[in-house]
Amino acid sequence: MIACWGGKILGVGPRDAIETGLEANGYPLSRFVRIDADGGVVTPGLVDPHTHLLFAGSRERELVLRQRGAGYMEILAAGGGILSTVAATRAADAEQLAAHGRRWLDEMLRHGVTTIEAKSGYGLDLQTELRLLQVAFELGKEGPVDVVPTFLGAHAVPQEYRARPDGTEAYVRSVIEEQLPGVAAQGRARSCDVFCEEGVFTASQTRRILQAAAAYGMAMRLHADELAPSGGAELAAELGAISADHLHVPSDEGLAAMAESAGGPTPTVATLLPATTWFLMTDAAPARRFIDAGVPVALGTDFNPGTSPTPNLPLVMTVACLEMKMSPAEVLAAVTINAAFAAGVGADAGSLEPGKNADLVIWRATDVGQLPYWVGADLVDTVVKRGHVVYRRGG
């Protein structure tokens, strides 16, 4: 039995012991609402620690281009890819972005997700970045899914800077000197992210941006070593980033640095995104090497219009088992407790412990091993958020 009160978990254990404890502490048993899991598995509400929730438009045409062999950089160089999403997103007002966000948050909830991290990064100018962060914040307040906003102004170099010979460096200065102060004054972003990658932002540019963000009190995270070893994993460990994400091709040194950080007081979580490599038809991250080295591994959808258009975290659990040889127990930890720490909410979410938020999922499965096993199935029976039923299958 799991007892919850005031939106928090009070106790977890055998029914008799829990009820005796509640009575002894003066809780009115008659006022508790009983929910019968009917033999189904109960897990913490899932946490998606890496999403690009808010954007406008869709990019289904690129699927066909990629089937013909076009790569991410090739699509980007052709003016497609992320820049087409930036143009559409700049043109969308807050109401349109909120409607889009609500639609996909509802999909995530139906897949058992009760908390997500949501990055900006399709504005690439102060005004649009602030709009994205504000909408993400308001959607979280509206609930039921908690939304943790992240500032990702350094997601790509926008079109208007690309013609300049010093374009990337000039944009980095604009992120540090113009966007970050505005974002800090707005006070919505809990962390700052940078796309540290060959041909995008170098490790040294990433370091400058993240250190500037840290000075404003934001946590650090980065897109690291997605397309080529770019010093991202090393940098994440060195800076004490809460998460290094993607890590498809980390260097041996980067992996070792993250393993060393795992032994320290503030481990950098390796947030792996196997739906992205699956959708891009490329090799997945070396999850086993991270796990065997003692690095905490989280899993996210990377929900975005170009490289991972899926809101389905349980599907990502399946892909992680198949493509990265993670065990069902490892993938469960990776979408709950490890994901909560990667999202910066480890103290409040991600496990069934007294004092944490009463975020629970009842599954139509009798063993957690069935969650990744029934591929693509809709297994969620009931979702509880802060003690309230917020989704019931067929309800």
Q: Interface with Zn ion by CB under 5 A: which range of 92-100, 159-167, 302-310, 359-367?
A: 302-310
Q: Interface with Zn ion by CB under 5 A: which range of 153-161, 167-175, 183-191, 298-306?
A: 298-306
To Zn ion, the closest distance from the beta carbon of 52 in angstroms equals: 6
CB-based closest residue to Zn ion? 302
In angstroms, the first-to-last Cα distance of the chain is 23
Residue 41 or 224: the one with the smaller Cβ distance to Zn ion is 224
Residue 133 or 384: the one with the smaller Cβ distance to Zn ion is 133
Distance CA 25, CA 290 (A): 44
**Cβ pair 248, 225 in contact under 8 A:** yes
Give me the count of residues in the chain: 395
To Zn ion, the closest distance from the beta carbon of 302 in angstroms equals: 5
* Contacts to Zn ion from residues 182-241, by CB under 5 A: none
Distance CA 17, CA 1 (A): 9
To Zn ion, the closest distance from the beta carbon of 58 in angstroms equals: 17
Smallest CA-to-CA distance from 171 within 139, 227, 124, 135 is with 124
By rule CB under 5 A, what count of residues binds Zn ion? 1
To Zn ion, the closest distance from the beta carbon of 363 in angstroms equals: 27
Element (H, E) at 20: helix 15-24
Smallest CA-to-CA distance from 346 within 264, 269, 275 is with 269
Residue 225 or 302: the one with the smaller Cβ distance to Zn ion is 302
Residue 179 or 382: the one with the smaller Cβ distance to Zn ion is 179
Residue 221 or 385: the one with the smaller Cβ distance to Zn ion is 221
- DSSP labels, 109-171: HHTTEEEEEEE--S--SHHHHHHHHHHHHHHHHH-SSEEEEEEEEETS--HHHHTSTTHHHHH
Tokens representing 71 are 């790569």
Smallest CA-to-CA distance from 300 within 148, 156, 139, 194 is with 148
Element (H, E) at 116: strand 113-119
Residue 273 or 317: the one with the smaller Cβ distance to Zn ion is 273
Smallest CA-to-CA distance from 189 within 239, 246, 121 is with 121
Tokens representing 140 are 């979280």
Residue 197 or 302: the one with the smaller Cβ distance to Zn ion is 302
Cα-based distances in Å from 268 to 19, 153, 295, 297, 326 = 39, 21, 8, 9, 19
Q: Interface with Zn ion by CB under 5 A: which range of 53-61, 290-298, 299-307, 327-335?
A: 299-307
Residue 9 or 116: the one with the smaller Cβ distance to Zn ion is 116
Residue 235 or 379: the one with the smaller Cβ distance to Zn ion is 235
To Zn ion, the closest distance from the beta carbon of 246 in angstroms equals: 7
Element (H, E) at 82: helix 82-90
Amino acid present at 80: G
Residue 128 or 150: the one with the smaller Cβ distance to Zn ion is 150
Q: Interface with Zn ion by CB under 5 A: which range of 182-190, 297-305, 335-343, 371-379?
A: 297-305
- What is the four-CA torsion angle of 145, 54, 317, 294, rounded to 10 degrees? -90
To Zn ion, the closest distance from the beta carbon of 273 in angstroms equals: 7
Based on DSSP, count helices (H) and strands (E) in the chain, helices before strands: 18, 14
To Zn ion, the closest distance from the beta carbon of 222 in angstroms equals: 10
Tokens representing 328 are 């069902």
Q: What is the DSSP code (8-state) at residue 195?
A: E
Q: Interface with Zn ion by CB under 5 A: which range of 4-12, 177-185, 301-309, 364-372?
A: 301-309
To Zn ion, the closest distance from the beta carbon of 116 in angstroms equals: 13
To Zn ion, the closest distance from the beta carbon of 154 in angstroms equals: 12
To Zn ion, the closest distance from the beta carbon of 391 in angstroms equals: 26
Q: List contacts with Zn ion (CB under 5 A).
A: 302
